[in-house]
Amino acid sequence: MGKIRLGIVGCGIAAKTLHIPALKELSDIFEVTAVTSRTREHAEECAELLGGAKVFESYEDLLQSGEVDAVDLALPVELNLPFIKKAVENGVHVICEKPISTDVKTGKEIVQIASGSDVVVYIAENFRHIPAFWRARELIDAGKIGEPVFTSWHVWVGMDEGNPYVHTGWRKSPKHVGGFLSDGGVHHVAAMRLIFGDVAWISAAVRDLSPLLGGLDFMSSLLEFESGVVGTYTAGYSIKGKDRFEIVGTHGRMLVESDRILLNGEEIGVNPENSYKLEFEDFYRVVMGERENVLGSPLEALKDLAVIEAAVKSNGHRIDVKALLD
- Going by C-alpha positions, the residue among 101, 160, 153, 128 that lies closest to residue 273 is 128
Tell me, what's the pLDDT at 283? Answer: 98
pLDDT in tens, 131-141: 999 999 999 99
Which residues have C-beta within 8 Å of that of residue 241, sequence separation ≥ 6?
154, 156, 158
Return the closest-CA partner of residue 75 out of 34, 37, 107, 25. 37
Distance CA 64, CA 92 (A): 9
Segment 160-181 shows an average pLDDT of 94
pLDDT digits (tens, 9 = 90+) for 67-90: 999 999 999 999 999 999 999 999
* pTM for the whole structure: 0.97
Per-residue model confidence (pLDDT) at position 279: 98
CA-nearest of 187, 215, 205 to 319 is 205
Residue 52: the pLDDT is 82
Q: What is the pLDDT of residue 1?
A: 58
C-alpha distance from residue 198 to each of 4, 25, 96, 158, 176 (Å): 33, 33, 22, 28, 22
How far, in Å, are 10, 59, 79, 90, 119 from residue 86 at the CA level?
15, 9, 11, 6, 11
- In the 3-class helix/strand/coil scheme, how is the chain assigned residue by residue? CCCEEEEEECCCHHHHHHHHHHHHCCCCCEEEEEEECCCHHHHHHHHHHCCCCEECCCHHHHHCCCCCCEEEECCCHHHHHHHHHHHHHCCCEEEEECCCCCCHHHHHHHHHHHHCCCCCEEEECHHHHCHHHHHHHHHHHCCECECEEEEEEEEEECCCCCCHHHHCHHHHCCCCCCCHHHHCHHHHHHHHHHHHCCEEEEEEEEECCCCCCCCCCEEEEEEEECCCCEEEEEEECCCECCCEEEEEECCEEEEECCCEEEECCEEEECCCCCHHHHHHHHHHHHHCCCCCCCCCCHHHHHHHHHHHHHHHHHCCCCEEHHHHHC
Mean pLDDT of the chain: 97
pLDDT digits (tens, 9 = 90+) for 17-72: 999 999 999 999 999 999 999 999 999 999 999 988 999 999 999 999 999 999 99
pLDDT at residue 273 in the model: 96
CA-to-CA separations, 271 to 86, 117, 231, in angstroms, rounded? 39, 37, 27
Percentage of the chain exceeding pLDDT 70? 100
Distance in angstroms (rounded) separating the CA atoms of residues 92 and 23: 18
Question: Does residue 3 have a pLDDT over 70?
Answer: yes
Specify the pLDDT at position 214.
87
